[in-house]
Amino acid sequence: MTLPSLDTLRCFVTAARILNFTKAARRVALTPAAFGQRIKLLEDQLGVALFQRTTRSVMLTEAGIAFEPFARSCLATAEEGVRAARGDVGPGPMDLVLGTRHELGLSWILPQLEPLSVERPWLHLHLFFGSGPDLILHTRSLAIDCAVTSAHFTDAKLDSVRLHREDYVFVASSALLRSTPLSTAHHAPGHTLLDISPDLPLFRYWRDSPGGGERLRFGTQTSLGTIAAIRQRALDGAGVAVLPEYLVRGDLATRRLSRIFRKVEPLHDYFRLVFRADDPRRAIFESLAASFRGVPLR
């Protein structure tokens, strides 16, 4: 089906309002013959007569009466779109579901929701909390619109914009290190390593860094599932852990936690805003990412 052009719809709406083809043609700067051809083309495209014409009058048919409000709405929407593209009006209302890790969402993203709603009153952000792999999977499947994560991916269907570097520190409670030091590899068997899962996704930032190596053999390993739980157990003195620096910055400043093996610099990562590569809202995501980059991690 061939859709009518906006110019053709404008001719119809003008004729429907004035009910005089000569005056309507003058209003849209066409000759009467050209105007009549536009109306004829529209009727042919729709397969119905829109006007009933006599030598003395022009009237809308039932089909014309039914079509008129939709044609008018279509023109109004197109004009509103042009104004939005030119920056004369803001975008239309939009809902976005943003995925995030629990700790980062509470400490960094949640405090930004109010400022973002002021900057972009047309944008309504919803939050989804999940692990890194969950966030990638949900973004790919369109279960959520985008996600802030440092999880790695090689999926060509996804794209991302870099936000902030994520640094890590190897820490334990100061009280634990006073009672059970960890300054050499020989001390490691006396300690418990806390991590998210048995494959040690956090400890690898220290283990794989220059100078880190695999020389540490801990007495036990405990998986706690979330970074927030690991931080809390580290504060409780239940073990040692590699954690994001932004998350424990305050604990280090108050000496509740202390760094271990200070000469070894753990590897770092990057938080990114991840979205579908084919998503037409890329400009929205890039603008949102620019706002996120302006707020330090915390």
Tokens (6 digits) for 143? 């279960």
Q: How far is the C-alpha of 231 from the C-alpha of 270, rounded, in Å?
A: 20
Across the strands, what pairs with 159?
A: 275
Q: How far is the C-alpha of 19 from the C-alpha of 7, rounded, in Å?
A: 18
**Once rounded to an integer, what is the mean pLDDT over residues 103-124?**
93
Q: What percent of the chain has pLDDT over 70?
A: 97
Q: CB within 8 A of 151, min separation 6: which ones?
A: 132, 133, 135, 136
Domain 168-267 part of CATH 3.40.50.300: no
Q: 227 pLDDT exceeds 80?
A: yes
> What is the predicted pLDDT for the residue at 2?
80
Q: Which of 32, 266, 217 is nearest to 24 (CA)?
A: 32
φ and ψ at residue 146, rounded to 5 degrees:
-165, 170
Q: 179 pLDDT exceeds 80?
A: yes
> What is the predicted pLDDT for the residue at 160?
96
Q: Where in the chain is the domain with CATH 3.40.190.10?
A: 94-166+270-293, 168-267
Q: 214 pLDDT exceeds 80?
A: no
> What is the predicted pLDDT for the residue at 91?
64
**Once rounded to an integer, what is the mean pLDDT over residues 101-124?**
93
Asked whether the beta carbons of 274 and 158 are under 8 A apart, the reply is yes
Query: CATH fold of 94-166+270-293, please?
Result: D-Maltodextrin-Binding Protein; domain 2 (3.40.190)
Which band of pLDDT confidence, cut at 50, 70 and 90, is reported for residue 90?
A: low
Q: Where in the chain is the domain with CATH 1.10.10.10?
A: 6-85
- What value does the mean pLDDT of the chain take? 92
> What is the predicted pLDDT for the residue at 88?
67
> What is the predicted pLDDT for the residue at 89?
62
Q: How far is the C-alpha of 98 from the C-alpha of 146, rounded, in Å?
A: 5
Query: 52: how many CB neighbours lie within 10 A of its CB?
Result: 12
For the domain covering 6-85, report its CATH number: 1.10.10.10
Asked whether the beta carbons of 80 and 74 are under 8 A apart, the reply is no
Tokens (6 digits) for 57? 């009058």
Q: How far is the C-alpha of 32 from the C-alpha of 52, rounded, in Å?
A: 17
Q: What percent of the chain has pLDDT over 90?
A: 84
Predicted TM-score (pTM) of this structure? 0.68
Q: Which of 167, 110, 102, 138 is nearest to 274 (CA)?
A: 138
Helix residue ranges, H only, the chain: 6-18, 21-27, 32-46, 62-85, 102-104, 113-119, 132-140, 174-179, 204-207, 227-235, 245-253, 282-293
How far, in whole angstroms, is CA 37 from its chain's centroid? 48
